[in-house]
Amino acid sequence: MGNVLRDLRGKLLPSLKRLLVVIGITMFLMLISTFANVGYVAKAHTRVVARDLAGYAYVNANVSIVYNPLLFSLSWLSGNGNFSGPYKFVSMPEYVGSGEAYVPRRKSPRELEQEAIMSIVVNQLSPNTIFNLIIVLAIKLVKMQDLYFCLFAGIIGFLIRGFIGALFGLVIGLLLTVPVMIRLRKGNAIATKILDFAFER
C-alpha cells in the first residue's frame, strides 16, 4: 500500500506542478492584459447624459481600442482585434462622507473614460484568457517552452510600437530564440538548470 501511494504521489506531483505552472503563466498573461499600452492602446471621449438620485451616471462614450494580438489572439482571430465606435454604459456610484453626509461622488471625465475602456476590455478578457490557457497548455505538452521568449518579445514590441511593434517583436523573438537557447545550454550550466526548472524540460 505504501509503495502504491509513493508511486501515485510520484506521478501526481510532477503533473500538478506542470498544471500550476500553466495556470500561473496564464494568470500572468491575463493580468498584464489589463494594463494600458501592454494589453491594449485606447482612447475615449465620454458624455454623461443623465444621473439619478442614487448616483448612477448614464454615459455615452466614443471609444477606440487596439488589442495586443499576442494577448488577445482570439479577439483578432474572430475579427474583434480593434474596436472603434459608440459605447453606452452605466457608471456605478462611489460614495464619500459618513452618516447622513454619505453622498455619491461625481467622477471626473478621465475616470469615466477609463471606466468605458475597461468595460470593453473586460468583455474580451474571459474568452481570451481561456484561449491563452489552451495555447500555454499546448506549448507545455509539445515541450516548446522556448516560444515564451517569442511571446514576451512580441509583448514588449507592442509596448513600444503598438500592433506593428508586436509583429516585429514576435519575428525578432523567433529569429533569436533558437541560437540563444543553444548558446545557453552549451555555455552556461547554471542558466540551463534555471531554464530546465522553470520550464520543466
Q: Is the pLDDT of residue 190 over 50?
A: no
| For residue 189, pLDDT beyond 80 | no
Distance CA 59, CA 110 (A): 13
105 beta partners = 94
Residues 79, 161, single domain; the answer is no
Q: What's the predicted TM-score (pTM) here?
A: 0.79
Q: State the burial class of residue 20 (Cβ atoms within 10 Å of its Cβ: 0-12, 13-18, 19+).
A: exposed
Residues 39 and 86 occupy one common structural domain: yes
State the Cα–Cα distance between residues 117 and 33, nearest whole angstrom: 13
Q: Show the domain range for 155.
A: 143-201
Q: In the numeric block, which cell numbers belong to residue 18? A: 506542470
* Closest by CA position to 29, among listed 65, 63, 67: 67
Same domain membership, residue 133 and residue 155: no
Q: Please indicate, yes or no, whether residues 126 and 35 belong to a single structural domain of this protein.
A: yes
For residues 23 and 118, state if they share a domain.
yes
Chain segment 57-75, per-residue pLDDT in tens: 999 999 999 999 999 999 9
Query: pLDDT tens digits for 142-173?
Result: 777 778 888 888 999 999 988 899 999 988 88
Instruction: Indicate if the pLDDT at residue 186 is higher than 60.
Output: no
151 and 134 both lie in a single domain = no
- Same domain (yes/no): 148, 173: yes
